[in-house]
Amino acid sequence: MARRAAADRQVHLKSADEIGKMREAGRIVAVVLRELQEAVRPGLRTEELDELAERTILSMGAEAAFKGYAGYPATLCVSVNDEVVHGIPGDRELKDGDIVSLDVGAIVDGFYADGATTVPVGSASESARPLMRVTKQALDLGIAQARRGKTVGDIAAAIERHVEKHGYSVVRELSGHGIGRNMHEAPQVPNFTVGAAAGQLRVRLEPGMTLAIEPMVNEGTADVVRSEDGWTYRTRDGRLSVHYEHTVAVTDDGAEVLTSL
């Protein structure tokens, strides 16, 4: 779940035991996302995906991280086509050619993990396929920078550079974030450098830091608007948006992705 701009707070390093709990929460997030991806099909209502996510999380002995968070009404964020993030599930039916971003979080023993993926519904459009590919590549490049001695700015620059090289735009109103005992912790992890607060970019990475890295990439302009429901963000120009996310731990050996199987 993406974070809006907020003041930086103290970074909390995690112990090996705490990262172990986040690793289990991350495994559950990965299982849920895999099941959701397999379930997506034309004619499916987005609320059915939400029900599947909640059943799976509870069956694995975890808590749904999003439901009730700051008043959010569902377990899953389902964002379709021009919806960037935080789309609320409902009776909307998915159509062939749509793309849908699925964002979910889980809690194990008080520790959070958060992950997202974007999948096609049926056959992806010609414009959607490269946008999805570039955004996933940008996430991988950002994760590769999450190691001792690097900075948050190194993550941001790697994502921004790759996205803009391919002619797309990085959303600037929302960002990744630290994560652990809380859904949103310091540091804020923007996906861009131009216009980002210098203090955010200078935060140095060290083992024990846990981050939700999540590029949100638009086909057209970077500008977004928030819908009347108070949650859903859309592209201002109505063009497609894609969202991928992993929770990672900074270790002595580099970045460990906690939300992968």
Assigned token pair, 92? 């909307």
35-39, 150-154, 191-195, 240-244, range with the lowest pLDDT = 191-195
Strand 169-170 to 111-120 pairing: unpaired
> Does 8 score more than 90 pLDDT?
no
pTM: 0.96
**Best CATH choice for the domain 3-257 from the list 3.90.230.10, 3.40.50.720, 3.40.50.11400, 3.90.1580.10:** 3.90.230.10
Averaged confidence pLDDT in the chain? 96
The per-residue pLDDT for range 94-134, each reduced to its tens digit, is 999 999 999 999 999 999 999 999 999 998 888 999 999 99
Cα(110)–Cα(71) distance, integer angstroms: 19
List Cβ neighbours of 227 (8 Å cut-off, separation of 6 or more): 233, 234
> Does 82 score more than 60 pLDDT?
yes
The per-residue pLDDT for range 204-261, each reduced to its tens digit, is 999 999 999 999 999 999 999 999 999 999 999 999 999 999 999 999 899 999 999 7
List Cβ neighbours of 139 (8 Å cut-off, separation of 6 or more): 159, 213, 214, 215, 244, 245, 246
Query: Confidence band (pLDDT; 50, 70, 90) for 5?
Result: low
